[in-house]
Amino acid sequence: MHAKEMLQVRPNDLSDVDAEVLAECIEACFACAQACTACADACLSEDAVAELTHCIRTDLDCADLCEAVGRMLSRRTAYDVNVDDAFLEACASVCGACAEACATHAGTHEHCRICAEACERCERACRRLIDVRRVVA
Amino acid sequence: MHAKEMLQVRPNDLSDVDAEVLAECIEACFACAQACTACADACLSEDAVAELTHCIRTDLDCADLCEAVGRMLSRRTAYDVNVDDAFLEACASVCGACAEACATHAGTHEHCRICAEACERCERACRRLIDVRRVVA
Amino acid sequence: MHAKEMLQVRPNDLSDVDAEVLAECIEACFACAQACTACADACLSEDAVAELTHCIRTDLDCADLCEAVGRMLSRRTAYDVNVDDAFLEACASVCGACAEACATHAGTHEHCRICAEACERCERACRRLIDVRRVVA
Amino acid sequence: MHAKEMLQVRPNDLSDVDAEVLAECIEACFACAQACTACADACLSEDAVAELTHCIRTDLDCADLCEAVGRMLSRRTAYDVNVDDAFLEACASVCGACAEACATHAGTHEHCRICAEACERCERACRRLIDVRRVVA
C-alpha cells in the first residue's frame, strides 16, 4: 500500500492532519474491506453456513463502508472535516459491530478470528484519527 | 430499479420498517451515485475544470458513500438499526454538502443542476427514513 | 436515474456513441447491482441458505462488477474504447452466469426470478452497446 | 493486508490455484485502487489540473475496476474460472492504460510516478495469475 507515500507527495499542505495517523487509517480501511470480503466468502463455504448469516451480512456491510471511507480519506482536495468525522464515527461503529459478530466464531473459524482483528484495527484507527483532529481543531 | 419489489418478496418480516420509504431511499442512493459519477466526469471535461475541483471532489465522495449506503440498506438479514442510522445521518450530510457545491454552478452547468437535485432527493430520503424509524422505535 | 439526461448535457461531443443505448446500459448496470445485492441478502435469510451459496457468490460478483462498469460507462472524458469493450464483454459474461445461477431457483424464490431478469437485461444491454460501437467503428 | 492468510484458512480446497500468486494479485488490486484514488485527487489539486484530465479519468476507472476484481478474487466459493479470466484480462488492460497515462507525468508529479508503479505491479499480477491457471488447466 502506498497511502503514506501518496500523502507526502501531494500538492496540498497537510499541516492540519497527522499524515502517519491518516495513512494508518486509510490502509486499515482497505485491509479491513479485503478481510471482510474474504471472511464473508469463507463463511459461505462452511458446512455451518446457516449459523453464520449474521456474520456474513455484517462482513458485507463492513467491506462496503470501509472501502468508501478509505477512498474518501485518500482525497484531500477541498475536504470538509465535518463530513469526514460523521463517516469516521459510523465506520468505527460498523467495524465494532463486525468485530463482535466475527469474535463469536473466532474459536471455531480462523477466518473469523483474523477478520475480527482487521475490524478492531480499523475501528481503533478511525477513533484515533477523530481524536487527533480534535486536538488540532 | 427493483428495490421495492425485492423488499416485498424477501423471506424476512419487514414489519419494523416502511417498505415504501426504504425503497425510495435505496433508489435515491443509487441514482445519486450515478449522477455524481457523471457530474464529476462532466466537470472534468469543462474548460473551466480548475474552478470545479471542489465540486468534483465532493461528487466522488458522494458517489462512493451513497453506493455503500444503498447496498447496506438493500440488506435486511440481521440488521442493526444503530449502524444504519449513523450512516444515514452521515450520508444525508455528504449529500447536503454535494448539493451545495453543485448548486453554486447550477446556473452555468446543467450537469451540476441535475446532480444537485439528485443529491437533494437523496438527502431528503435519508432523513425521511431516519424519522420513520424513530416513530416506530 | 438521470443517466440519459446527464449524457445529453455534458460538454463533450458524443457523436461516436448512441446515447440511448449507452444510457440504457448504464441504468441496467446500476439496477442489476442493486438487484444482485438484494438477492444475495434475501438468499441469506432463506432457511435453505446452504443450497443457495453458489447463487449468493455469483450475486456478489455481479453486483461489484456491474457497479464498476456502470461507473466507467458514466465517464466520457478521454475514454478508451478498447478498455470499455473488454469490460463490457466480461460484464455480459458475469451477468449471464448470474442469470443462470438465479434461474435455477426462480421457481422457488421470487427474488431469484426478479434478479435473473435484471441480469438478463444487463447482459443484453452490454452486448447491444458492443454491437452498436462496432457498426460505428 | 491479510489476503494470503485468509486463503490459507478458508474451508475449500485451493488445489487448483497457486495461493501465493492469487494473494499477490488480490493485494496488488487493492493497493492499485488506493493509489489511483489518491493520484486522481492529487492531480485535482495541481495547478495544471486542466492538463491532467485524461490521467484523472483513467485513475478513476482503474480504481473502480481493480477494487471489483480484488473483491471477486477474494471469493473462492463455487468460482467460475471463465468469468475470472475475462475480468483479469480486462483489469490488466485498464492497469496498462492507466500506467501509461500516469507515466507521461511521472517526471513532473511524484504521485503519477508512484501510481504508475502500482498499476504496473497490478497488471503483472493479473497476467501472472492468468498464466499460472493456464498451466494447471
pLDDT higher than threshold 80 for residue A82: no
Hey, what's the cell of A5? 507515500
ipTM of the complex: 0.94
Residue B13 lies in a domain: no
Closest Cβ–Cβ partner in A53, A64, A97 for B71? A64
Q: Is the CB of C42 inside 8 Å of chain B's CB atoms? A: yes
* Residue numbers of B between 44 and 73 with CB closer than 8 Å to C: 44-47, 63, 67, 70-71
Q: A50 and C49 in contact by Cβ < 8 A? A: yes
pLDDT higher than threshold 90 for residue A137: no
Residue C130 lies in a domain: yes
Q: Over the stretch A4-46, which tens digit does the pLDDT of each residue have?
A: 999 999 987 666 678 899 999 999 999 999 999 999 999 999 9
Residues of chain C positioned with their CB less than 8 A from the CB of B45: 10-12, 76-77
Q: Which chains touch A (3 or more CB pairs under 8 A)?
A: B, C, D
**Residue C100, Ramachandran bin (φ over 0: left; ψ between -120 and 50: alpha; else beta):** alpha
Best of B44, B58, B61 to substitute, by most chain D Cβ atoms within 10 angstroms, is B44
Query: Which chain C residue has its CA at the smallest distance from B78's CA?
Result: C45
DSSP D10: S
Q: Is the CB of B6 inside 8 Å of chain A's CB atoms? A: no
Residue A110 lies in a domain: yes
How confident is the model over C109-131, as a mean pLDDT?
A: 97
Q: Over the stretch B48-62, which tens digit does the pLDDT of each residue have?
A: 999 999 999 999 999
Residue D56 lies in a domain: yes
* Total-model pTM: 0.96
Residue A2 lies in a domain: no
- CA A104, A105, A106, A112 torsion-angle sign: negative
Q: Is the CB of A137 inside 8 Å of chain C's CB atoms? A: no
**Domain residues for B31?**
19-136
Q: Is the CB of C126 inside 8 Å of chain A's CB atoms? A: no
Q: C50 and A49 in contact by Cβ < 8 A? A: yes
Residue A74 lies in a domain: yes
Q: A53 and C56 in contact by Cβ < 8 A? A: no
**Mean pLDDT taken over chain B:** 92
Q: Which chains touch D (3 or more CB pairs under 8 A)?
A: A, B, C
Residue D113: CATH number of its domain: 1.20.1270.360
Residues of chain C positioned with their CB less than 8 A from the CB of A50: 47, 49-50
Can you give the three-state secondary structure of B2-47, one letter per residue?
CHHHHHHHCCCCCCCCCHHHHHHHHHHHHHHHHHHHHHHHHHHCCC
d(CA B54, CA B52): 6
Residue B28 has a pLDDT of 98
How confident is the model over D74-92, as a mean pLDDT?
A: 86
Q: Over the stretch D117-129, which tens digit does the pLDDT of each residue have?
A: 999 999 999 999 9
Contact in structure between A127 and A29 (CB atoms under 8 Å): no
Best of D43, D55, D76, D94 to substitute, by most chain C Cβ atoms within 10 angstroms, is D94
How confident is the model over C26-35, as a mean pLDDT?
A: 98
Number of domains in chain B: 1
d(CA A39, CA A21): 26
Best of C22, C32, C43, C111 to substitute, by most chain B Cβ atoms within 10 angstroms, is C111
Residue B14 lies in a domain: no
d(CA C20, CA A93): 42
Residue C106 lies in a domain: yes
More reliable by pLDDT, C128 or B84:
C128
Residue C122 has a pLDDT of 98
Q: B10 and C70 in contact by Cβ < 8 A? A: no
Can you give the three-state secondary structure of chain A, one letter per residue?
CCHHHHHHHCCCCCCCCCHHHHHHHHHHHHHHHHHHHHHHHHHHCCCCHHHCHHHHHHHHHHHHHHHHHHHHHHCCCCCCHHHHHHHHHHHHHHHHHHHHHHHCCCCCCHHHHHHHHHHHHHHHHHHHHHHHHHHHC
Q: C45 and A56 in contact by Cβ < 8 A? A: no
Q: Quick check: helix, strand or coil at residue A108?
A: coil
Q: Quick check: helix, strand or coil at residue A37?
A: helix
Hey, what's the cell of C51? 443450497
